[in-house]
Amino acid sequence: MNTHHRRRFLERLVSASAAGAMLSATGLLGANQPTAAGGHRWRFAMCNETFGDWDQPRIFRTLAETGYTGVEIAPFTLNPDVRKISQHQRDSLRKAAEDAGVQLCALHWLLSKTEGFHLTHPDRVVRTATADYLGELARFCRDLGGSVMVFGSPQQRNLLPGVERQQAMNHAAEVLQRVVPVLAECNVVLALEPLSPRTTTFLATAAEAVELAERVDSPQCKLLLDCLAMTSESIPPSDLIRRYAKWLVHFHANDPNRRGPGMGTLDFGPIFQALRDVDYRGWVSVEVFDVSPGAETIARESLKYMKEMVAALPR
């Protein structure tokens, strides 16, 4: 943790009563799922692609040993086409995770490395194929024991030439409404991920993502908030969390420098305070893009920092 964050952390501990007891109650000294003041449970996960070409069971064991209880899977790390991942492979992955003591909680980068799929494409044939593939991903998520699919995939949702924003909204809503029955059958929620305008030309704010979710009008279509993306908005991350709490089903923790939480300048104290205030019960999943410090270092330092932030929350 850098000097600025450590100072803020210590200030919170001093102001909170019975700080030592709180540390014990949160499990900062070793428990996987800490409890904040008030009995709030936190579930921490990390994305598997951070570990590059490691085999999956080794990733699961490493994250479990570090203290995580969840793993978020990018399907392309297993096969660019999820339809080619056999039932035997799926069962083996789930068993390896269970043996390690982690849950395969979610999928993300849903359409990365794929071809022929696009959420806002003007061609109905492409949109139908995209909906069908998302259905296959929902079945894959169910088979792994997961319950959330994060739709980021900026290249497969960007506005194409000649497609206006409202047309794109119509196309996207059509695709997702087609997927809803499969999502419901699999007990999986699709979480729309707002990304910064530097990354995408469609759903670049939380408000736009919620607008699409309202159009889909299903409990199977909700919202993910990502710290890196939120910092591109004019509204502070903590306020975005409170504003869109009823839609929030999954959360990505990262710093604007593209590393893990606590490895940059973003103060996660107000973010965790907001998550607790809205009684967020989903996963807090570490997603990074700059892996230069090393996957194990990122995993260890990110979790340590997040647990410190939880411990520092006032009663």
Rounded Cα distance, 264 and 228, in Å: 11
Q: Which of 31-40, 108-117, 277-286 has the lowest mean pLDDT?
A: 31-40
196: three-class secondary structure by DSSP: coil
pLDDT digits (tens, 9 = 90+) for 21-66: 332 332 323 334 555 545 678 999 999 999 999 999 999 999 999 9
- Percent of residues, the chain, with pLDDT higher than 70: 88
Greater pLDDT, 298 or 2 = 298
Condensed to tens digits (0 to 9), the pLDDT of residues 197-228 reads 999 999 999 999 999 999 999 999 999 999 99
Of 109, 116, 150, which Cα lies nearest the Cα of 133? 116
What are the pLDDT digits (tens) for 139-176?
Answer: 999 999 999 999 999 999 999 999 999 999 999 999 99
pLDDT, position 315: 73
Residue 136 or 14, more confident: 136
Picking from 102, 100, 108, 109, the residue whose alpha carbon sits closest to that of residue 43 is 102
CA 276 – CA 17 distance, rounded (Å):
18
* Terminal Cα-to-Cα distance of the chain (whole angstroms): 23
Selecting from 3.90.550.10, 1.10.645.10, 3.40.50.300, 3.20.20.150, what CATH number does the domain 41-312 have? Answer: 3.20.20.150
Domain boundaries, the chain: 41-312
Q: List the single range of 18-27, 88-97, 249-258, 274-283 with lowest mean pLDDT.
A: 18-27
Check residue 73 and give its pLDDT.
98
- What mean pLDDT comes out for the span 66-87? 98
Among 247, 248, 181, CA closest to 214: 247
> pLDDT value at position 26?
28
d(CA 129, CA 194): 23
> Which pairs from 127-134 meet CB under 8 Å and 24+ separation?
127/171, 127/174, 127/175, 128/178, 130/156, 130/175, 131/175, 131/176, 131/178, 131/179, 133/82, 133/83, 134/110, 134/175, 134/176, 134/179, 134/182, 134/190
User: Residue 285 in contact with residue 254, Cβ under 8 Å?
Assistant: no
Closest CA to 157 of 121, 186, 187: 121
